[in-house]
Structure 1
Amino acid sequence: MHASTFLASTFFAATTLAHGNIVSPPVRLPGAVTQQVCGANAVAAITADPSGPLENIPSNGAPDCNIFMCKGVQFEDNQNNVQAFAPGEQVNFAAELPIPHEGPCNVSIVDTATNTLVGQPLLSFASYADENLAQLPLNNTQFSVNMPTNLGTQCQQLGECTMQWFWFGTNAQQTYENCVDFVMTA
């Protein structure tokens, strides 16, 4: 009896933690620099539930720990995961959405120095991950974007830009975010 209660509560806890995240291409993950900037509690929250909402990540109040910029995860921890993309190249994404929350979603290029969009979103959903659907559309978990052809020399330096998947569950009032670091090839 106790074992089944333990297993049931463990299963429930595991399923209630997960909401959604990008599984491909590689996304930023916390490391030593993130812990130094954002604190051990932020790293523990992201590590324990990489698909959890930003609202569950404690911020230590440090100015360089912007939870709404790549979950506060620092580029310096992720330099080995930088992707190289050519103008016009199609980039395929895979997402896991174990607990959908309907709301808007986009994939955009973000200038990391200012946390502002570079151009228009590469992909936008007015309604994404609708929990009222019996099955999510395939394009919610498998989608692609085309890299812009008009960036000039922007996004050619390591850490200058990131491609950000941003989803807000309207009813849940929860925000989900992953960043794919990249450089544009000439």
Structure 2
Amino acid sequence: MYTPAIVALVFAMVQIVAGHGLVTSPAPRGPGPLMKAACGQGIYNTLSSDPYGNVQGALQNRGTDYNASECKMNLCKGSQLESGGPVQNWSAGTNVSVKVDIKAPHTGVANVNIVNYQTGAKLATLMSWSDYASNSHTIPANQTSFSVTIPPVSNCTVPGTCVMQWWWDAHSINQTYISCVDFTQ
């Protein structure tokens, strides 16, 4: 017989493991039809139901319709620049406030980079942490609310070419979380 306390405990545990972290501001890429076409139904369903989910968990649900070269799971967690998707316009020197929502901390490393989405080349590192979202102490405020200064970057005039990538590798549990914000310069 299931008591209300047991049911509540199980529900709480499911909520904790369902999602872990993502950028909430500026608006990041999210699941959409282009992601579904590139990554397949399984990954699309996984990340649509839990945008906070990790790369490894989503890949466990890939099917025969998964296209690794188009999906780019390790770059933007499969998210594509969808039609009408948010694109920022940042000139060099722009100070950008970033907000990250961590649902469940797990010790790891993290960084914020400017990346050419087409080539995968890292153009600049804006921020990095060697001890990120640790579950052994309170998460420092500067890991969930911080500012970065956008450097001058070339070849970022066309939407979908350059992204600001937040990347968190929670190596203590072998999970990676990624959010990408599209921008032009």
What amino acid maps onto 2:97 in structure 1?
Answer: N
Task: Determine the structure 2 residue equivalent to 1:33.
Answer: 34
Contact 1:29 / 1:78 at 8 angstroms: preserved in 2?
Answer: no
How far 1:154 moved relative to its partner? 2.1
1:73 equivalent in structure 2: 79
Match of 1:148 in 2: 151
Tell me what 1:103 maps to: 108
The one-letter amino acid paired with 2:73 is: I
Secondary structure of 1:72's match? coil
**d(CA) in 1 for partners of 2:51 and 2:150?**
26
SS at match of 2:125: coil
Measure, in 2, the Cα distance between the counterparts of 1:18 and 1:7: 18
Secondary structure, counterpart of 2:20 in structure 1: coil
Tell me which residue corresponds to 1:137: 140
RMSD across aligned positions (CA): 1.6
Query: TM-score with structure 1 length normalisation?
Result: 0.89
CA distance in 2, matches of 1:79, 1:121: 27
Change in 2 beyond 3 A, CA 1:111/1:79: farther
Secondary structure of 1:69 counterpart: helix
2:48 aligns with: 47
TM-score w.r.t. length of structure 2: 0.90
After superposition, the C-alpha distances for 1:44-89 in whole angstroms (9 at most, x for unaligned) are 11122211211011334413122112111111x1543011111101
**Residue 122 (structure 1) aligned with residue 123 (structure 2):** no
TM-superposed CA distance for 1:98, in Å, is 2.1
Q: Distance in 2 between matches of 1:170 and 1:4?
A: 32
2:9: which partner in 1? 8
Match of 2:172 in 1: 171
**Using the alignment, how far apart are the partners of 1:103 and 1:37 within structure 2?**
29
- Matches of 1:28 and 1:78 in 2, distance apart? 11
**5+ long unaligned stretches in structure 2:** none
Which whole-Å CA distance do the structure 1 matches of 2:95 and 2:83 have between them?
22
Segments of 5+ residues of structure 1 without an aligned counterpart are none
Q: Which residue of 2 aligns with 1:88?
A: 93
Give SS of 1:35's match: helix
- Cα deviations by residue, 1:97-133 (Å, 9 ceiling, x for unpaired): 1211122111001111111201x30111111111100
| CA–CA separation in structure 1 for the residues paired with 2:163 and 2:9 | 39
Where 1:51 maps in the other structure, the secondary structure is: coil
CA separation of 1:17/1:115 partners in 2, compared to 1, >3 Å: closer, same or farther?
same
